[in-house]
Structure 1
Amino acid sequence: MAHQLLTIEVSRPDADHVRLRLTGELDYETAPELVAAAADLRGGQQVTIDLSRVGLCDSSGLSALLIVRRVAGSIRLTGVSRQVQQLLDRTGLTELLSVQTAVDDDLRATG
């Protein structure tokens, strides 16, 4: 099976807010791409990372998210899938990162 690439769409709604929309897999092979994107960030910016199109996240992906947090000061994760939420819970990172779960997962849980 071919490895799914990671694409990172960067938008800047205003001078103090950066939105990163990730699509693909956030793993050992692709995590350095997120780290490279973080090099353009500066402290004090509001950084939102949309994970709604991320199919897989492993420990290397979590590590990259922590690097982005360290560079930016804080981040907000949106569109977090059930798999990523479980990974964040198991590692204790839910306490450290601002997390919003995926709307689809919330609807399935209640419906």
Structure 2
Amino acid sequence: MRPQLLSIEVTRPDAGHARLRLTGDLDFDTAPELLDAAARVRADGCHELTVDLGGVGLCDSSGLSAFLVLSRGGVGPLRLTGVGDRLQQLLDRTGLTELLAVERPTAGAADDVREVG
């Protein structure tokens, strides 16, 4: 199976807030793209950061590490949205749920995230 590239759509819903909508795989090869995109919006004055994971097909330990780096490296809050069941299990098992603001999708949303060991 060919890995899916990561695309990041950046929107700014209001002053000081940026939303990064991810589509594709968040893994060793693509996690640096998330870190770079977050650094750019923070350099532009966005202190509150929301990462929408609804379009992520795979998240491995590098993706989890990126969340931790973003939460500790910013001056404002990091919120994860669109978190599916499998990714939620990874966040729970690693203790990241207690460190990050995680917003679950509404009932009936599809869960396409695959776990990688």
Deviation at 1:104, TM superposition (A): 4.2
Deviation at 1:38, TM superposition (A): 1.9
Instruction: Report the structure, 1 or 2, having the larger helix content.
Output: 1
Counterpart amino acid of 1:56?
A: L
Match of 1:56 among 51, 55, 58: 58
Counterpart for residue 90 of structure 2: 87
Counterpart amino acid of 2:31?
A: A
Deviation at 1:14, TM superposition (A): 1.5
% same residue:
60
Normalised by the length of structure 2, the TM-score is 0.83
Structure 1 regions of 5+ residues with no counterpart?
none
Counterpart amino acid of 1:51?
A: L
Are the counterparts in 2 of residues 38 and 71 from structure 1 also a CA contact under 8 Å? no
Are the counterparts in 1 of residues 6 and 23 from structure 2 also a CA contact under 8 Å? yes
Runs of 4+ in 1 over 4 A off after TM superposition: 104-108
Q: Distance in 2 between matches of 1:10 and 1:88?
A: 24
Computed over aligned residues only, the root mean square deviation of the Cα atoms, in angstroms, reads: 2.1
